[in-house]
Amino acid sequence: MLKQIRSWLNVTFGIPIVGFLRTWILNVIIGNVPWAMIRNFYYRKVCRISIGKNTEIWSGVRFAGGAMDKISIGDYCTIPHYTFFVAGDSIVIGNNVVFGHGVELYTSDHDPDDPYFSRRDAPITIHDNVWIGSSAIILKGVTIGEGAVVAAGSVVTRDVEAFNIVGGNPAKLIRERGTRTFK
């Protein structure tokens, strides 16, 4: 019976039920558990996400994509509510990285020139000491250099040089940071 339901869902809606359930449990239940220890255990042991020491992943963070085991978050990072990781490829975050609320990272999109909208995946890399403002969107293939700042609400489509502040849609250079020192 279960096999038939599974096959019907797959054929009718294209939903791979195991993956769907895994994502549902992760985002609807685990992600909202008010104990970080439980959330982190599930992220590390079930999703195989690498999380460094003293890194906080707040409740309400969501994950999607088949490459969750390629998500790596360094030490002393803050990933607050409503961050959304779409991991069709790797997402590598260095140390001392701070996100504002509601940052979204998309490693995947679809080729608009392909009649079948074939999927395209590329990694996202965020180096040490970066601050990403609230509601920024980081698109596939982007590398954000050390100590850079992404202004709130930006859409980052291209690499960001180290210690630059970028903002807008698409994100452009605002200015260079006034410091290169971190404590």
Ligand X SMILES: CC(C)(COP(=O)(O)OP(=O)(O)OC[C@H]1O[C@@H](n2cnc3c(N)ncnc32)[C@H](O)[C@@H]1OP(=O)(O)O)[C@@H](O)C(=O)NCCC(=O)NCCS
Interface with ligand X (CB under 6 A): 98, 100, 133-134, 149, 151-154, 165, 167-168, 174-175
Minimum CB–partner distance for residue 149 and ligand X (Å):
6
Q: Which is nearer to ligand X, 88 or 94 (CB)?
A: 94
Judged by CB, which is closer to ligand X: 67, or 165? 165
Which tokens in the block code for residue 32?
């909202």
Residue 43 has phi, psi (to 5 degrees) of -60, -45
Distance CA 12, CA 119 (A): 21
CB of 138 to ligand X, least distance (A): 14
Which residue of the set 81, 101, 110, 127 is catalytic? 110
Q: How far is the CB of 108 from ligand X (least distance, A)?
A: 24
Residue closer to ligand X, measured from CB, 19 or 168: 168
Please tell me the distance from the alpha carbon of residue 83 to that of residue 124, in angstroms, as a whole number: 15
Q: Please say if 127 is a catalytic residue.
A: no
For residue 112, the minimal CB distance to ligand X (Å) is 26
Phi-psi region of 27 (alpha: psi -120 to 50; beta: other; left: phi over 0): alpha
Q: Which is nearer to ligand X, 98 or 122 (CB)?
A: 98
Distance, in Å, from the CA atom of 32 to the CA atom of 86, rounded to the nearest integer, reads: 18
Q: How far apart are CA 21 and CA 30, in angstroms?
A: 12
CB 168 within 8 A of CB 149: no
Cβ proximity of 103 and 132 under 8 Å: yes
Give catalytic residues, as residue numbers: 110
